[in-house]
Chain A
């Protein structure tokens, strides 16, 4: 079974632009979460989706948004990019949003660099 797929793997954007990242969960998984990983702040939870509905959101500004499609694929968008948004953005999927949160499988991430 294929793992979590994230595209693109690398991205360079300019401050003020917006960006959209894509995530395809493991086949059959319906719950998707996004995390931001930076050297300074570590791994931080952004938001999670299940059945096209946002179920939980981390402490990030409104410039960070996401959505989930009927096929469980998810996208996240960052508008008005700032230098501090440079990070590895990780997507994780799990079959159902119940049970232990550790039952998530992470993708390889999208490395976003803002210049």
Chain B
């Protein structure tokens, strides 16, 4: 049972454009929503995370928008660069309930120069 649904599966963006990846969750017990970036041959690396009491969090060119009532959250990458080309995963977890992360299916982003 996929508890976190991610879209799109793949995304092509021109350099300087905005990349937008969306996720929706089902389990209302989730209370932490991180995004991970994974390059080929590497493990996922934490990019940015948000808690449901915040509607938006920005770190550099990366912004998470969170809609608690719709049970949706999204990642915006502003001024996308070829170096951002990677696979992005949204995830959800329950704070203080251990290490289990429930991941979305992933989005393969390609930024064209």
Contacts and interface: CB of A to CB of B under 8 A. Distances in A.
Interface residues of B, number: 25
A101 B84 CA distance: 24
Nearest to B41: A108
Interface residues of A, number: 28
B103 A102 contact: no
Given A4-B43, A42-B106, A104 B98 contact: no
A107 B99 CA distance: 15
Interface in A74-115: 90, 92, 94, 97-109
Interface string B4-38: 00000000000000000000000000001010000
A100 B43 contact: no
Contacts of B95: 99-101
A55 B43 CA distance: 22
Nearest to B102: A45
Contacts of A43: 44, 89, 91, 101, 103, 106
8 contacts: A33-B100, A42-B89, A58-B100, A92-B99, A100-B32, A102-B101, A104-B46, A106-B43
